[in-house]
Amino acid sequence: MCWLCRGRRGPIKFGLRPRHSLGPSLDHVIPASKGGTWDLWNLRPAHFGCNARRRDRAPSVPRGTRSRRWA
């Protein structure tokens, strides 16, 4: 499930052409350009389109928020 739209756009779909808006990507909670790391705690699954739209802005989802499906 995409952590940015919280599933409103549907599931992340694998097997689509590269950079498809509903395809998979890893999003940095703290953007790499702002000092974020590639550590597992700083990465979340996201649609490529949601991730591209967010760019390097702070997340609109509070950092401690968990999906019910992940908990």
**Reduced to 3 states, what is the DSSP secondary structure of residue 33?**
helix
Residue 68: inside a domain:
no
CA 46, CA 59: separation in Å to the nearest integer?
12
Instruction: With beta carbons less than 8 A apart as the criterion, state whether 16 and 33 touch.
Output: no
Residue 24: inside a domain:
yes
Least confident of 13-22, 26-35, 57-66: 57-66
Total domains in the chain come to 1
Cα separations (Å) of 51 from 22, 55, 71?
A: 10, 6, 22
Distance spanning both ends of the chain, measured CA to CA: 12
Is the per-residue pLDDT at 9 higher than 90?
yes
Residue 70: inside a domain:
no
Residue 56's pLDDT is 87
Enclosing domain of residue 20: 1-58
* 22: confidence class by pLDDT, cuts 50, 70, 90: very high
Residue 66: inside a domain:
no
pTM of the model: 0.76
> What is the chain's length?
71
31-67 pLDDT, tens digit each? 989 899 999 999 999 999 999 999 888 776 555 555 5
